[in-house]
Structure 1
């Protein structure tokens, strides 16, 4: 049943020209160089330090690593991160 739901969502993206991030429930990430990152469609902050940000996603987690990381703004599904961003990694649900 889940497989059909996933196929229908992909079909809706193509046929109806809907934004993929909304229909597929994946994050939209906008970066300005390695100094600023804006992340939409997250489900909450799991961990934050000056070297790491871990966000809950619908299908796993997002791990952002770097130095001197600072959360400049946070809303229920959006976050603005600044600092020296060194890496971004998606951790899928097992």
Structure 2
């Protein structure tokens, strides 16, 4: 109950102060360039990686990216740049 209330307060503050939702609500920011690059900010870590799949932990659920010839070009505590042929980007809610 308390967690839901906190989320409602964050959403209200985000709306009232006109802040980007990813800043206040701990959401991932995902930027894709065609099917060849994907840049993810505000993730919580890599759960699984192969040249055909990467699974990232988010504050709410997971992000699954499927494709071919994946290479992690940059990895920082909350940022990741992935290159390859991206076929699917799926949010998995827990």
Q: Assess same fold via TM > 0.5.
A: yes
Within a 5 Å distance, the mapping from 1:5-44 to structure 2 comes to 5-44=6-45
Deviation at 1:2, TM superposition (A): 1.6
C-alpha distance in 1 between matches for 2:73 and 2:3: 37
In 1: Cα distance, 2:93 partner to 2:25 partner: 14
* Deviations, residues 20-59 of structure 1 (Å, cap 9, x unaligned): 0121111100000000000000000000000000000111
Q: Which residue pairs with 2:77 in the alignment?
A: 76
**Number of residue pairs aligned between Structure 1 and Structure 2:** 93
Across the aligned residues of Structure 1 and Structure 2, the Cα RMSD in angstroms comes to: 0.7
| 1:11 Cα deviation from its structure 2 partner | 0.5
Secondary structure of 2:27's partner? coil
TM-score by length of 1: 0.96
- The normalised TM-score by structure 2 is 0.96
Q: Secondary structure at the match of 1:3?
A: helix
Q: Matched residues in 1 for 2:22 and 2:71: separation?
A: 25
Aligned to 1:3: 4
